[in-house]
Chains A and B, each alone.
Chain A
């Protein structure tokens, strides 16, 4: 098996796993995460806007959670969250929200690399 083909298989399998983790977190972990920000005005307003339970709503609500947890200093500086709220979130939950995205950046770079390789590969297209 060529390296190129092996790369595709690993790459696609990785995307599948990462996507599953993201969707799982969106469905199974979001409510618990939000419960730590029950009294937060920014989160409550966001929840009012994305109030249905459809996928797009959960996606955007999870997006805010991820933003808060990945850029805590900026949110603190803007006065949108408190130190106590951030400290109350268990590290396991933080990992569910953040790590699929962190690993995804590597996969996005790999996707770009694959694309460039495929375009200049002699047998490509």
Chain B
């Protein structure tokens, strides 16, 4: 049975192939791999791409492989859509990795899929969908929203999903309010912080640093201040809203607000 694998680092196609298929690959198997992974060629393979590993004994394409190819193509398109939109999804993806893998959590776990090397069918479809969502969000980012926004969308979904797939119903329900609160607060905070941060930083640039109002110095100040303010306010207000979300309970289908205690 053909399997698929998510590439977790930027690598060249040939070394990826020998890593996954092993050395001393015969011509037929090598060609089969190339056919299945047409979406990856040529050159470097970006992190996040779905790699299809053919069945050990087979050299002809099965229906299952065609299904995998369709999903791999979908993932590739989503990743490319983003690059062309200006806000590189790889960058965001890299940032997701940076933020989470730093804490020794694998990329697969971050993306809500199992930590095994190879994926189940359901996970592949879920992965393709998640990448598409991240790509769309990042495209929106490219049109001028502030840094720190895209990640929150994917992460919110994952936090909720993680609580829900483990089968703890109460935690799952609470996670929905806490994490949705964190996302809404984070977005609101990013935009608010971006506005005020940009304004403050323009003023500081003019008054303290004496950057000329005639040049483009103000633009640099606004961009830097907006990004910094957006990031800070986004994370603080996200925490605030998550805290508030934790005070919302669901009892017998009714939503109640619990003011004291947790």
Q: Which residues of A contact B239 (CB under 8 A)?
A: 115, 118
The docked-state distance in angstroms from the alpha carbon of A59 to that of B240 is 26
Interface residues on B, range: 35 or more
Q: Is the CB of A12 within 8 A of B206?
A: no
Which of A15, A16, A66, A114 has most B Cβ within 10 Å? Answer: A15
The docked-state distance in angstroms from the alpha carbon of A55 to that of B260 is 40
* Known contacts A1-B259, A19-B188, A55-B145; A101 and B199 CB within 8 A of each other: yes
Interface residues of B in 208-260 (CB under 8 A from A): 212-214, 218-219, 222, 233, 236-237, 239-241, 243-244, 247, 259-260
Nearest Cβ on chain B to A95's Cβ, whole angstroms: 16
Q: Which residues of B contact A54 (CB under 8 A)?
A: 143-144
Q: Which residues of A contact B71 (CB under 8 A)?
A: none
How many A-B residue pairs lie within 8 Å, measured between CB atoms? 95
The yes or no answer to A34 lying at the interface (CB within 8 A) is no
The yes or no answer to A78 lying at the interface (CB within 8 A) is yes
Q: Is the interface of A mostly helix, strand, loop or mixed?
A: helix
Nearest Cβ on chain B to A37's Cβ, whole angstroms: 14
Checking B193, B218, B240 against A11 with a beta-carbon cut-off of 8 angstroms, the contacting residue is: B240
Q: Is the interface of B mostly helix, strand, loop or mixed?
A: helix
Checking A2, A5, A80 against B213 with a beta-carbon cut-off of 8 angstroms, the contacting residue is: A80
* Known contacts A71-B206, A105-B196; A78 and B240 CB within 8 A of each other: no
Q: Which residues of A contact B206 (CB under 8 A)?
A: 67, 71, 74
The yes or no answer to A70 lying at the interface (CB within 8 A) is yes
A-B residue pairs in contact (CB < 8 Å), sample of 24: A2-B259, A5-B244, A12-B185, A12-B237, A12-B244, A16-B188, A22-B192, A42-B214, A56-B144, A59-B144, A59-B195, A63-B198, A67-B203, A67-B213, A74-B206, A74-B207, A75-B213, A78-B213, A78-B214, A101-B199, A104-B192, A105-B200, A107-B192, A108-B193
